[in-house]
Amino acid sequence: MAHYALIFVNSIFLIYFGLFLLSSIVEKEKRAALVSLAILLFLSLTLLFIGLTSVLNSFYWGLNIIVLATLAVIFTPYGGVASTRIIDTQTRFDERDIMFARARYVAGSDAYRDYYRRHPQRKKTDDVLRAMPNLLSPGGRHYEAVAAKMADTNFTLTEKLIPFCQGTPATEKMSVPAAEATAAVKRLVLSLGAVDVGVARLDPIHLYSHVGRGPGGYGSPITDEFENVIVFAVEMDFDAMRHAPKMPVVVESSKQYLEAAKIAINAASFIRSLGYNARAHTDANYRFMLPAAAVDAGLGEVGRIGYLIHPKYGARVRLGAVTTDIPLDFDSPVAFGVQHFCRICKKCATHCPAGAISHGAEKPVRGVLKWSTNQEACYRYWRTVGTDCGICMRVCPYSKPGNFAHDVVRFVIRQNPVARRLAAWGDKTLYQYNDWQND
Ligand code: SF4
Ligand code: SF4
């Protein structure tokens, strides 16, 4: 009887590590594949020799009891996952301060004069950054002419779609119950290619205070926006992300920005056809901080990396949004232990070639406790390589592809602080990235 129990337990481990080996091979993760192969061989030998001698059996039982006890600990939910982030009166962020807006200020223009009159300390850094080869241009370390054209075409098309983001609603307003409208919009967004969608009331604190880029004109105050927000995520292809920081990453980002724009414009047009106001928010045409609204809409949490961490796709998503006045049912924020896991993990900070991600604890930023990234250092690296890098997104343990082997780990991370420590240790041990991959 004891033999059968041992065989049963070992067979379960064997199946899990078999699946783990398969996923490691598909993901081209050599180290993870070798470790799981070694464990598989050990488990196979165990099965072969079970029952051979009582000494061996006691040894195998000893090992299994340790493993089962560990599993019992890591699968037990305790310790909570809630994130407390708001610690003071919050203030709005000025879009003119983001690096993408600053990179566009042309010397001698009104925007340039105004910005550096108010922020003279940033002028030298920004002048140096603007003088570097532009993204997708010859001179970038990873420049490839054809791939650069592909990405540029996607970005250009996304920008050309901006006039379609806004429009006049149909004159006749259709009466649609909130539940029905919410279901219809979500169905539409998912059918168009989004992997997740949520709805929230748009917290005015998430609005940028002033326009930094896009329509509306530099410096225009952003006073209000429609009260409801639909936020959705599109997935970044895992295989493309493996090439970070090389060209396939920026081709993939540009493609997903374009996809997000098409989805948002379609959804906004649909809502306007029902007689309500709706505005699509697309790349270089946002009026609020999307990650913050995505958190409110229940799409995930914001991690050390500064991006949204989705429970299934991790940081490997791009966001799109529609603001509207059609009555909708709201989703609730979700918490699955990201804040605590990020305090332990720090993998994005370790691998960021620009040293742009903090290794330290969260700090108060405009009333919210969070990690802030050094956007100048990050952007300098982008201009050096000529792409949008993506290394942090790629190495984040949450960004692994969805399959049984990784879903089990994602589930375990939610459970308790011990599980998070073990998962962070396991990820560091199994998935190592060399310096050459970061250049
Ligand atoms: S995108 Fe690259 S440079 Fe920027 S924070 Fe991430 S790893 Fe660092
Ligand atoms: S790499 Fe680690 S520390 Fe960074 S965002 Fe992902 S989980 Fe958090």
200-235: pLDDT as tens digits: 999 999 999 999 998 888 999 998 789 999 999 999
Task: Please tell me which residue, 346 or 51, carries the higher pLDDT value.
Answer: 346
Mean pLDDT over all residues of the chain? 93
Neighbours of 174 (CB within 10 A): 11
By most ligand atoms within 8 Å of CB, the mutation choice from 302, 348, 351, 352 for ligand 1 is: 352
* Distance between CA atoms of residues 102 and 111, nearest Å: 9
Average pLDDT value for residue range 333-340: 92
* Distance between CA atoms of residues 267 and 218, nearest Å: 27
Q: What is the pLDDT of residue 200?
A: 98
The residues with which 314 forms a beta bridge, in sequence order, are 310
Closest ligand to residue 302's CA: 2
CB 101 within 8 A of CB 213: yes
Q: What is the pLDDT of residue 156?
A: 97
Taking the centre of ligand 2 as the mean of its atom positions, its distance from the CA of residue 47, in whole angstroms, is: 37
3-state secondary structure 358-384: CCCCCEEECCEEECCCCHHHHHHHHHH
Q: Is 88 left (phi over 0), alpha (psi -120 to 50) or beta?
A: beta
Give the model's confidence band at 2: pLDDT under 50 very low, under 70 low, under 90 confident, else very high.
Answer: low
- And the tokens for 438? 């970061």
Give the model's confidence band at 439: pLDDT under 50 very low, under 70 low, under 90 confident, else very high.
Answer: very low
R_g of the chain, CA atoms, integer Å: 24
Average pLDDT value for residue range 301-314: 95
* Distance between CA atoms of residues 161 and 155, nearest Å: 10
The helix (run of H) or strand (run of E) holding residue 62 is: helix 54-75
The residues with which 322 forms a beta bridge, in sequence order, are 230, 280
* Distance between CA atoms of residues 85 and 325, nearest Å: 28
Closest ligand to residue 355's CA: 1
Cβ-in-10-Å burial (0-12, 13-18, 19+) of 46 comes to buried
- And the tokens for 353? 């070639």
Q: What is the pLDDT of residue 275?
A: 98
Average pLDDT value for residue range 57-75: 87
pTM equals 0.93
Query: Would you say residue 81 has pLDDT above 70?
Result: no
CB 394 within 8 A of CB 241: yes
Closest ligand to residue 304's CA: 2
Q: Is 341 in the pocket of ligand 2 (CB under 6 A)?
A: yes
Q: What is the largest CA-CA distance in the chain?
A: 85
238-286: pLDDT as tens digits: 999 999 999 999 999 999 999 999 999 999 999 999 999 999 999 999 9
By most ligand atoms within 8 Å of CB, the mutation choice from 81, 310, 316, 346 for ligand 2 is: 346
Query: Which of 189, 339, 211 has the alpha carbon at shortest distance from 285?
Result: 211
Average pLDDT value for residue range 23-31: 91
Cβ-in-10-Å burial (0-12, 13-18, 19+) of 326 comes to buried
CB 47 within 8 A of CB 18: no
* Distance between CA atoms of residues 157 and 254, nearest Å: 10
Residue extents of the structural domains in the chain: 2-75, 95-338
Q: What is the pLDDT of residue 136?
A: 97
Q: What is the pLDDT of residue 53?
A: 81
Strand ranges inside 250-346, DSSP E: 278-281, 301-302, 308-309, 317-324
Q: How far is CA 17 from the centre of its chain?
A: 27
Task: Please tell me which residue, 434 or 191, carries the higher pLDDT value.
Answer: 191
* Distance between CA atoms of residues 104 and 374, nearest Å: 18
- Pocket, ligand 1, Cβ cutoff 6 A: 352-354, 356-357, 373, 378, 381, 389-392
Give the model's confidence band at 166: pLDDT under 50 very low, under 70 low, under 90 confident, else very high.
Answer: very high
Average pLDDT value for residue range 387-408: 94
Q: Is 305 in the pocket of ligand 2 (CB under 6 A)?
A: yes
Q: What is the pLDDT of residue 436?
A: 41
Average pLDDT value for residue range 325-354: 95
Average pLDDT value for residue range 10-22: 90
CB 192 within 8 A of CB 263: yes
Query: Would you say residue 435 has pLDDT above 70?
Result: no
Closest CA to ligand 1's atom 2: 389
Query: Would you say residue 372 has pLDDT above 50?
Result: yes
